[in-house]
Structure 1
Amino acid sequence: MASLHCLPPVQKSLFINSLPQKLHGRSVCCRAGISFLVRAERARGSSVNGHACSSEGQFTKLRWKIRLGRRQLLAGSAFITWIYLADMNSMSFAAETKKGFLSVSDKKDGYSFVYPFGWQEVVIDGQDKVFKDVIEPLENVSVNMIPTSKEDIRDFGSPQQIAETLIKKVLAPSNQRTKLIEASEHDIDGKAYYTFEFVAQAPNYTRHALSTIAVANGKFYTLTTGANERRWEKMKDKLRTVVDSFTISKV
């Protein structure tokens, strides 16, 4: 088994509102403009020149209004089309995100996951991404990456071996008592992931946690989420959703 002693310790610690209501609900009805040309000919022998000039002036105004109406129609149609496409895109995004969760997609580092709605992003040294519940700080998720020359998580050893090493040397302080509950391997799009469950007991609390790890893009990825033991039964399904959502893409 390759050694993980080189792993560094984890640091602790649209104008849409201005549209008519029917447009907002996508019930949009537009009247199509019809272009036409009105021709006026003076009656032969007409004796009222002023009437003819007045008619020509009205026809000129009518043509102007028609042209202006067509411009407004074209501009309005383009705007409505843009709003519709933008709304469709947002619908597609919403459909891909599990209810009650928000998604994170880091294209630069090539990973994505979801976290419970309401958690806030915080900055912690040594972590690439962290979201936490401000009321229950032990309820959080963090992503960490370190360089590696390995190409597969299995090159480091079995799920149990790697989990034990990470828990004792990285994922919990050395003064906490830790226990590995279970560890397993699963596959996503041909990529191997290890997922494990553990508890870390401090003097005044016990944290129940889940982690998933994988190797890709020359990096060793670790996502860890958890909660206070007293809230584990309430939070475990959400936390499992977070762990199961973690995927790595090629960059």
Structure 2
Amino acid sequence: MTTHLLLRRCCAPPAIAGVRRPDRRRSLNPPIIPNIWRRRTLILLSLSPIPTLIPVAAQPSPEDLKPYADRAEGFELLVPEAWTKVEKAGATALFEEKGKGSNNIGVVVNPVRLSSLRDFGSPEFVAEKLIQAERKKESTRAAEIVKVGERSNEDGIPVYEFEYVLDSTRGGIKRIFSAAFVASKKLYLLNISHSDPPESPLDDHTRFLLESVLRSFDTAH
């Protein structure tokens, strides 16, 4: 999760490295926040393309996604219904596609000195730093930014979003979707990774599903 490492190194306070992270066992089965059900439908509607361009069958339905909320850490998002939650050191939450662990959705939350992600830089600035870091890895063959964007949540908090293609000796060609925001002196980072090789490219349904996850990443309401 290069996005996580990049922003964490730049934003984390020096003293935080020796602080033990809180025990999150109490949030393994966090309560679901009702508002995310309404937002799930709105997100899907906003992502729906012109019907004449994409077959209706390829578009995701509300039943394809389930809400997940972590009140202890203060974030929520939608995840594919068939994906399962797994435990991994360093990840606040991690979901994997059954039988395809390289297709995953991860969230990391870390304390920072910033009050807003804009204090770190613009979306374009962060995207450039992200790609530079990816290209410096020995395992990287190529890395190219596809999209850079910014949105604001209901509280006016800016959320940066990125999409890029990564060709690596570790897993081949992947499509990466990332989102980041800062709230209450915490840096929230979402990283979605999915295989996207030329012989089996990302289909429309899966793309819209993953974009729905990306757009749903937010503070808990």
The offset of 1:158, in angstroms, is: 1.1
Count of residues in correspondence between the two structures: 166
1:144 maps to a residue whose letter is V
> Equivalents in 1 of 2:131, 2:157: separation in Å?
22
**Structural mapping, 1:40-55, within 5 Å:** none
Gaps of 5+ in 1: 9-89
Provide closer, same or farther for how the CA distance between residues 124 and 141 of structure 1 changes in structure 2, counting only shifts above 3 A. Answer: same
Provide closer, same or farther for how the CA distance between residues 148 and 172 of structure 1 changes in structure 2, counting only shifts above 3 A. Answer: farther
Deviation per residue, 1:216-240 (Å, 9 max, x gap):
1211111011311134224111000
Aligned counterpart in structure 1 of residue 9 of structure 2, from 6, 13, 17: 6
1:165 maps to a residue whose letter is K
Gaps of 5+ in 2: 1-5, 12-31, 41-61
The offset of 1:171, in angstroms, is: 11
> Equivalents in 2 of 1:94, 1:192: separation in Å?
19
Q: Which has a greater percent of helix?
A: 1
2:113 maps to a residue whose letter is S
Aligned counterpart in structure 2 of residue 208 of structure 1, from 148, 168, 175: 175
> Equivalents in 2 of 1:155, 1:131: separation in Å?
30
Q: Indicate the RMSD between aligned Cα atoms, in angstroms.
A: 2.9
Matched-pair contact (CA < 8 Å) for 1:145–1:221: yes
Aligned counterpart in structure 1 of residue 151 of structure 2, from 186, 193, 201: 186
Q: Find out whether 1:132 has 2:87 as its counterpart.
A: no
Q: Find out whether 1:162 has 2:162 as its counterpart.
A: no
The offset of 1:103, in angstroms, is: 1.0
Determine the structure 1 residue equivalent to 2:163: 197
Per the alignment, in what secondary structure is the counterpart of residue 126 of structure 2?
helix
The offset of 1:147, in angstroms, is: 1.6
**Structural mapping, 1:1-251, within 5 Å:** 4=7, 6=9, 96=38, 98-169=62-133, 174-176=138-140, 177-189=142-154, 190-203=156-169, 205-229=172-196, 230-234=200-204, 235-249=206-220
**Residue identity (%):** 22
Deviation per residue, 1:70-112 (Å, 9 max, x gap):
xxxxxxxxxxxxxxxxxxxx9x789545321111110011000
Determine the structure 1 residue equivalent to 2:47: none
TM-score by length of 2: 0.66
User: 1 or 2 for the larger relative contact order (CA 8 Å, sep ≥6)?
Assistant: 2
1:193 maps to a residue whose letter is V
Per the alignment, in what secondary structure is the counterpart of residue 226 of structure 1?
strand
TM-score by length of 1: 0.59
Matched-pair contact (CA < 8 Å) for 1:7–1:170: no
Determine the structure 2 residue equivalent to 1:23: none
Per the alignment, in what secondary structure is the counterpart of residue 139 of structure 1?
strand
